[in-house]
Amino acid sequence: MLAYLNGQFLPRSAATVPVDDRGFIFGDGVYEVWRVINGRLFESERHLARLTRGLGELRISPPEIARADVLERVADHLLNESDLKEGEATFYLEITRGVAPRTHQFPPAGTPPTVYATVNRFNPPEDVRSRGATAATVPDVRWLRCDIKTVQLLPNVLAKQAAAERGAIEAIFVRDGVVTEGSHTNVMGVLDGVIRTHPTDNLVLPGITRAVVLEIAKRLNMSVSEEPVTVPDVPRLEELFLVGTTSDVMPIIRIHDHVIGSGRPGPIARQLFTELRRYMDTSCPPSDHAGAGAVSASQ
């Protein structure tokens, strides 16, 4: 697989950063993950807007790749050279505050950010989706700026590992008796027929899939409330599902040993997945339909 590092394309095995990189030393950087379908970045602008906002919050000057045309060019080259213009893939981009001797405060103005990007083949987890998955709850011990997509993911890593050790697909964070989000997904529950999810405040990442799924739900006249699921709500949940770039809509049928709803993927999750998949496919058509993507994505 090919990588892009600070303006150059090179084999990923040859892409290295100095040990003084602030991403390595402090986790001082942000990242994004795009879904790629038929060589096109799904919801390209929304991911780029979240990245730009994150850079602003961290006060890192946006490098060239934060321009839509440069981003598309880099992604296109990586996908082409990695033979990923067909089928599904992910595009990963990370920007750190750059390389400087270790001091906590920012390095001198003008220190160039480190820019790294790569692509990977992606196989959507359709087997698990059709059966439904299990999740584990984990205390949400993260900082109070979970709205920024920083590379500081240690609590997420530990949570996901704890879930994996219990045979669960995802760790669901709980803070003060409230479900916030997953280690790499947002969480939605259905209670009394209403889709509930944590509002986009400082305690969760404003997920792009979350936003798209909520738009689809409203278009389908489903009831939506940006009010979180609480721990006491869990026994009454009719459905629970994860939403995210690498999960789409993933039904959760068990939390630990507690069965959710009917114990099978529920009708709301299934319909939302069908509609999300349809939207993904129409907004990212194969390239012999060039142009159609731009039209449907802007509708």
Residues noted as catalytic: 149
What is the CB neighbour count within 10 angstroms for residue 176?
10
d(CA 160, CA 170): 6
In this chain, which stretch among 102-110, 130-138, 206-214, 256-264 interacts with ligand PDD, using CB under 6 A? 206-214
Q: Quick check: 207 binds ligand PDD (CB under 6 A)?
A: yes
CB of 146 to ligand PDD, least distance (A): 7
Strands 239-244, 248-255: pairing is antiparallel
Chain centroid to Cα 59, Å, comes to: 22
In this chain, which stretch among 72-80, 94-102, 184-192, 283-291 interacts with ligand PDD, using CB under 6 A? 184-192
Q: Quick check: 96 binds ligand PDD (CB under 6 A)?
A: no
User: Toward ligand PDD, which CB reaches closer, 98 or 244?
Assistant: 244
Buried b (16+ CB within 10 A) or exposed e, 59-78: ebeebebbeeeebeebbeeb
d(CA 123, CA 121): 7
Among 137, 186, 197, 283, binds ligand PDD (CB under 6 A): 186
d(CA 237, CA 137): 15
For residue 59, what are its two tokens?
Answer: 């006060």
User: Toward ligand PDD, which CB reaches closer, 99 or 149?
Assistant: 149
In this chain, which stretch among 65-73, 124-132, 238-246, 280-288 interacts with ligand PDD, using CB under 6 A? 238-246
Q: Quick check: 54 binds ligand PDD (CB under 6 A)?
A: no
For residue 279, what are its two tokens?
Answer: 């939207």
CB of 35 to ligand PDD, least distance (A): 8
Residue numbers of the site for ligand PDD (CB under 6 A)? 33, 181, 184-186, 205, 207-210, 244-246
